[in-house]
Chains A and B, each alone.
Chain A
Amino acid sequence: MLQNNLFHDEYVRNYTNASFLVKDGYAFTDGLFSGYSASARTYNIASWSYDTDPATSFANRDMTLQNPRSVFQLMKQHYSRYTPEMVSSITGIPVADFNKVADLVGQMGKPDKVMTIVYAVGLTHHTTGGQLIRSGAVLQLLLGNMGRPGGGMNAERGHANIQGNTDHAISWEILPGYLKIPAPGQKTIADYVAQSAPKKSDKNSWNFFGTNYSKFMVSTLKAWYGDAAKKDNEFAFNFVPKPAGNASWMTIYDQALKGKMEGLMLSGMTAASIGPDSNQVRQALGNLKWLVIMDALPTTSSEFWHAPGVDASQVKTEVFMLPATHWIEKEGSFVNSGRWSQWKDQVLPPQGQARHDHWILADIFQRVKTLYKTQGGKFPDPIMSLTFDYKDPLKPDLDEIAREINGKDLSTGKQMTTFANLKDDGTTTTGDWIYTGSYLDTGNLMKRRQGVQDPKANDPTGMGFYPNWSWSWPLNRRVMYNRASADLNGKAWDPARPGITWNGSKWVGDVPDYPATMDPHDPNAYLPFIMNGEGVGRLFSNGMVDGPLPEHYEPIESPVQNPLHPTNSASPVAFLYDKAAGRPNRFGTATDYPYIATSYRLTEHEHYVTQHVPHLVQLQPRPFVEIPQELASEKGIKSGDQVRVSSKRGKVEVLALVTKRLGPMTVAGQKVYQIGIPIHWGYIGISADSDPSHGRYWLANALTPFVGDANARTPEFKAFLVNLEKI
């Protein structure tokens, strides 16, 4: 695309940072970007900064894209190594097939063409996961497809409401609405904003997020700490916990293995099955003092202490199993991958003694609060002042919480209608600024149901927006960054597929991701990507910790050396938990484990809960692994044979399914086989109940490595090494 000038020139020049100049010192040599420290296994990302004008601190740009220090030229040089032959050598895709796809994709850079990339989150399950997603986004920026209807880099998230619960920040590194969790050393809101908010790096950048960061943060603190959040105490900023370092999934179990984690609460999520290296995780669960499971059905975590082969009397963990209600026994919203927040009814009353998760949490919290009141203890202030403005503090209504999330104007008592009106003086609240506008005084917009029963009336643009079906964040906008769907004059790149267009006095179409009446011809008109400091899409980014440009690295366990740079074959910054903790090495090599394995789901199951659903168990009754035909015949394995697949960390003993759909492939000049491992089984469920070993060796994640992507610490579920034997 770069060599044949197939990119969308006007878009790339004006809507991406292709023209930005990068500071001297940035380099890429033999698989390493500049700024690398081998001892710390980290990069100093300051060496990937823009070349700036000292007077304004804005980035210097070259709109001709010819400057050798421009992002465009650096990028062109970086990717010149990726010839079709090299891509084939890395991926195993035959050159002819790759060229066929590349030709098709290359045509999508014409303004009247658009393509989308939809990925299941398995793409994140690599030590290069973050960069794999970025590589798709970079490609889409080059094609001019970001911010356009039918374009984008779209994640299909794997559970009903991961989106909503990520938005609401059940994640160590964020507060609601993707505000960063404060770091140690920040004493004031100003410190926090200075270190967290994006900084304006071009004169036409709006930098909307950076500009409003303190308003969103202060309004959230007001929602949480009410009257205790005052101007003269920095709105109770010191109440917010400040983590010492990464506190994500694998860190929790790493801390438990080190004896530092005392208690764990799990809701609708089973640690023993879902994370990598299940055997090590089960050991970690046994190292806890106490474990609370909130679930409707038994899980491999609630029952880990008496799993097959475990001597329960030796497990010292105190375990609580709390029956929680199912999704259909409560109302509230589920947010889908397209950010549509869809409200659901309570259809059934709770079964048995089941209680809602939030009622269980409210009750535990109130009991803890009473203990602090009567006994005292460490810093009880945040517990004492946390707002509980619900009719029944033990049984908050989800409707009440939805209104709290939207936020209100404290001076009028009215619901906020837009986050643009939030303030940082303590007069407004919001539980999550990106949801402001979802629940107005006139009602809950997430309940709206004007769908395909009348497409003409309900989808006036014909683009499938259905603006009165549910509500999507932010502000019911259906395509984010939609200013990029129109050219510099405000005309749709493709008149047949408009996002928003300028009609001479305002932007029309989707809800504009842009000031509604900002004339595109105004020399001060904002750039289209309003949330970052540049105002444009980042082809080159210092927002990632493992490189400003996506680069291919082999998985941590791989049978081949990286053809691009064999001396730095795997990601030099991937986080190796066991090694960092001084635990014995749990990574294998191709000598002992010669085959690549990858884990995945089947259509008929959803993770582990469907092991309790009779019809789905009938459709996919037994665990199996998929084995390439050629390898199977080498090993004398037929479909239906019992096989053992083992890694350095554990094994599964399941049925073989011999298939033509997996390899072999030729990678880096070698013939390699790949074994496919569906993840759904374990020692709990209908299938396990009828198995003589009770599913003792059925946990797919007994095989997977305890290693994390440097950015997100997502485990490498999708590529690791195993051995295969017929039993």
Chain B
Amino acid sequence: MPTVTRRGFLKVGVAGASAMVAAGLGFDAALAESTKVKQKLRIAGAKELHSVCPYCAVGCSLVAYTRQNSNGSVELLQIEGDPDSPVNEGRLCPKGATAMQLAVSPRRVESPQYRAPGATGWKSVSWDFVLDKIAQNVKASRDATFVTTDGNGNTVNRTEGIAFAGGAAFSSEEGYFATKLMRGLGLVHLEQQARV
């Protein structure tokens, strides 16, 4: 039997049954027969985009297929391993293979939520409301905990009372931007998932 690379197999699969038969790959007759069933591929006519798995740092490449519906909304049809990637050659683990259920979820937080001190529930609020309040908090805490000169007379210009943590799900450029802004605000407590 001729060797079939995983990539070759996937490409053939996408190209459809006729290519598979024509390539003479030696599949048995039953399989060849079954592939003659006229079935429209779920991804037929879809837009093909590239992404990277959101879970661990092996960096498996993803192919994502989307379609624009008549009402203008974009529908995610399928996510699968990218056969061209030297990292995963089309493969995905159980997490990557179900990435679609992370991408589109009825469990998403749909709008900004606010919980006042001592309140027993969330309140849906506007973006302006939360961003204004947070900006006021940042300024108040910065001004209250900012140290210009330490006990030894050294200029230190640091904000001691605000911390920022996160970033493993950021695009790198977002992470850089977060660092720049937080250092710009004088933060010294900066952390992400490298330690924990």
A240 touching B183 in the complex, CB below 8 Å, given contacts A184-B150, A377-B139: yes
Give the residues in chain B near A169, CB-CB below 8 Å: 179, 190
| Contact pattern, A 161-186, Cβ under 8 Å of B = 1, otherwise 0 | 11111111111100110000100110
Q: Does A424 contact B (CB under 8 A)?
A: no
Contact A249 B191 (CB under 8 A): yes
Q: Are B137 and A323 closer than 8 Å at their CB atoms?
A: no
A334 touches B187 (CB 8 A): no
A368 touches which of B107, B175, B185 (Cβ 8 Å): B185
Bound-state CA distance A626–B127 (Å) is: 45
Q: Mark the stretch among B13-21, B25-33, B37-45, B97-105 that contacts chain A.
A: B97-105
Query: A267 on the interface (CB 8 Å rule)?
Result: yes
User: CB-nearest residue of chain B relative to A184?
Assistant: B154
Q: Tell whether, in the assembled complex, residue A357 and residue B170 are in contact, meaning their CB atoms are under 8 Å apart.
A: yes
List which A51-81 residues lie within 8 A (CB) of chain B: none
Interface residues in A235-275 (C-beta closer than 8 Å to B): 238-244, 247-249, 251-252, 255, 260-269, 271, 274-275
Known: A167-B172, A252-B189. 14 other contacts (CB 8 A): A157-B57, A159-B168, A161-B172, A169-B190, A172-B188, A172-B191, A242-B156, A244-B160, A276-B196, A345-B49, A348-B76, A349-B74, A405-B172, A616-B94
Alpha-carbon distance between A243 and B144 when the two chains are bound, in angstroms: 17
Most chain B CB inside 10 Å of its own CB: which residue of A169, A316, A347, A354: A347
Q: Is A35 an interface residue (CB 8 A)?
A: no
* Residue from B134, B135, B183, B196 in contact with A275 in the complex, judged by beta carbons closer than 8 Å: B196
Interface string of B73-102 (1 = CB under 8 A from A): 010100000011111010001110011011
In Å, the complex CA distance between A355 and B112 comes to 10
A31 at interface, CB cutoff 8 A: no
- Compute how far the CA of A371 lies from the CA of B50 in the bound complex, rounded to whole angstroms: 41
B171 at the interface (CB under 8 A from A): yes
Q: What 5 A-B pairs come out closest when comparing CB atoms? A: A332-B171, A336-B59, A267-B166, A159-B168, A164-B172
A206 at the interface (CB under 8 A from B): no
Q: Are B57 and A609 in contact (CB under 8 A)?
A: no
Answer yes or no: A224 CB below 8 A from chain B CBs: yes
Contacts A244-B156, A396-B177 given; indicate if A263 touches B192 (C-beta within 8 A): no
Instruction: Name the CB-closest residue of A to B82.
Output: A451
Q: How many residues of B contact A (CB 8 A)?
A: 113
Tell me the nearest residue of chain A to B177, going by C-beta.
Answer: A358
Q: Does A209 contact B (CB under 8 A)?
A: no
CB pairs A–B below 8 angstroms (27 shown) = A162-B167, A162-B168, A164-B175, A187-B155, A241-B183, A244-B160, A260-B160, A261-B189, A262-B137, A262-B145, A264-B164, A267-B167, A269-B167, A274-B196, A314-B118, A318-B117, A327-B171, A334-B172, A344-B51, A348-B66, A354-B108, A355-B127, A358-B170, A364-B135, A379-B157, A398-B174, A610-B55
User: Contact at A347–B196, with CB atoms within 8 Å?
Assistant: no
CB-contact partner of A377 in B119, B142, B156, under 8 A: B142
Residues of B within 8 A of A (CB): 7, 49-59, 61, 64, 66, 74, 76, 83-87, 89, 93-95, 98-99, 101-105, 107-122, 127, 130-139, 141-148, 150, 152, 154-196
Q: A243-B188, A321-B113, A379-B146 are in contact. Are A161 and B170 (CB under 8 A)?
A: yes
Number of A interface residues in the complex (CB < 8 A): 157
Residue on A nearest B73 in the bound complex, by CB: A349
Cα–Cα, bound, A166→B162 (Å)? 20
A282→B179 CA distance, assembly (Å): 25
Which listed residue (B52, B86, B102, B152) contacts A326, Cβ 8 A?
Answer: B102
B108 touches A351 (CB 8 A): yes
Partner of A158, one of B121, B157, B182, B193: B193
A365/B181 in contact, CB under 8 A? yes
Indicate if A312 sits at the interface (CB-CB under 8 A). yes
Residues of A within 8 A of B120 (CB): 306, 312-313
